[in-house]
Amino acid sequence: MSIHPTTEPVAEARTSASSPPQESASALASSATATTTAATPSGTRGGEKQGLVERITLALFIGVPFAALVAAVPVAWGWGLGWHDIVIGVVMYFVACHGITVGFHRYFTHGSFKANKPLQVVLAIAGSLAVEGPLVRWVADHRKHHRFSDKDGDPHSPWRYGETVPALMKGLFWAHMGWMFDAEQTPQQTYAPDLLKDRQLVWISRQFGLFTAVSLLIPPLVGGLWSWSWQGALTAFFWASLVRVALLHHVTWSINSICHAIGERPFKSRDRSGNVWWLAVLSCGESWHNLHHADPTSARHGVLRGQVDSSARIIRWFELAGWARDVRWPSPDRVAARRAA
């Protein structure tokens, strides 16, 4: 059974009984984009301008944790961090990251392209290795986010509590990770009914614990065999399992928090989504977030000159290999139509 990703609850997505589910999703995405364009700034939680105090607060929120992580690397060099750990960690990081960006996000959530069944399974498993939650839960939460972006109902808007500095600090924490502890969960039947119809994908989603264990155990297995030592296995587990998962988590969560609080906004959207260039490589192109919210089904997020988007490149390779088809590449006219005035 193949899946047909949608961007809204299925009752709203089925606009025509004679249209295939995938086309209904595309039509719905276009409708959502039109709504985005027509919405007024008063519909968002944040104001149009940021003050100096807000910028300083955001800089501290963003910079201090990453500075601590960067400082740990030279300190640890020669005391438990080696090239084996770096190679294993980088490979695992980008496999899992692209599993999230290409698979969970652009394919399963937004239907930016159609994939054959083997590719669907590979993307579902690769995304599960990121340890960001079961596939169905991830997709349902993200579709709800797009439906209510930066408005009441958005699961993780940084503007949830207002625009003052204390409210923004509280909102950033909420958008970054606090929302995941909310007792209220996104209804899967409403936001991901297409995934629930696919037994294979439901099985992968339900085996989240298994794939978490696999994600954490691959690095020490490879590290131990590569170095032929228990120390190699232990250091690989610390750096390529624990640190790698933590870094990818915070990069992903930063799209929810940082990219909805700061960044350039060259495209029209109904929310506060922005482009944050310095997250582009680590987020595999997801931090070109303003274009994504202006055109959610686009297979490429970095559409302007110099915008690195490795996820779009991988989708292109899948297309050339014949594994992906009907890719929704942004044409120049499509990009121009979404430009901010």
Which segments of the chain have a pLDDT < 70?
1-55, 57-73, 75, 77-79, 183
Residue 162 lies in a domain: yes
**What is the Cα–Cα distance from 110 to 115, expressed in whole angstroms?**
13
Q: Residue 58: what pLDDT?
A: 43
Q: Residue 71: what pLDDT?
A: 59
- Residue 279: burial class (beta carbons within 10 Å; 0-12, 13-18, 19+): buried
Beta bridge partners of 288: 275
Residue 271 lies in a domain: no
Is residue 125 within 8 Å of residue 206, measured between CB atoms? no
pTM across the whole model: 0.81
Q: Name the 3-class secondary structure at 257.
A: helix
> Residue 281, Cβ neighbours under 10 Å: how many?
14
**What is the Cα–Cα distance from 249 to 13, expressed in whole angstroms?**
30
Hunting for tokens 């990121």 — which residue is that? Answer: 130
Residue 107 lies in a domain: yes
Domain, as residue range, for 140: 10-15+46-263+322-329
Residue partners of 72: CB distance under 8 A and separation at least 6 = none
Please provide the DSSP assignment of 69-95 as one string. Answer: HHHHHHHHBTTTB-HHHHHHHHHHHHH
Is residue 168 within 8 Å of residue 261, measured between CB atoms? yes
User: Residue 76 is encoded by which pair of tokens?
Assistant: 């640890």
Query: What's the CA angle centered on 102, arms 209 and 130, to 5 degrees?
Result: 25
Domains held by the chain: number: 1
pLDDT 10s digits, 17-34: 223 333 333 343 344 434
Residue 212 lies in a domain: yes
Is residue 258 within 8 Å of residue 108, measured between CB atoms? no
> Residue 248, Cβ neighbours under 10 Å: how many?
23
Q: Residue 184: what pLDDT?
A: 76
Residue 26 lies in a domain: no
Dump strand ranges (E) for the chain: 114-115, 324-325
**What is the Cα–Cα distance from 21 to 293, expressed in whole angstroms?**
22
Residue partners of 91: CB distance under 8 A and separation at least 6 = none
Residue 273 lies in a domain: no
User: Residue 239 is encoded by which pair of tokens?
Assistant: 């750096």
Residue partners of 168: CB distance under 8 A and separation at least 6 = 54, 57, 58, 158, 159, 161, 162, 261
**What is the Cα–Cα distance from 246 to 131, expressed in whole angstroms?**
9
Is residue 159 within 8 Å of residue 44, measured between CB atoms? yes
Please provide the DSSP assignment of 7-38 as one string. Answer: SS-HHHH---TTS-HHHHHHHHHHHHHHHHHH
Q: Which residues of 24-62 are buried (b: 16+ CB within 10 A; e: fewer)?
A: bbbebbeebbeebeebeeeebbbeeeeeeebeebbeebb
- Residue 288: burial class (beta carbons within 10 Å; 0-12, 13-18, 19+): buried
Residue 195 lies in a domain: yes
Residue 268 lies in a domain: no
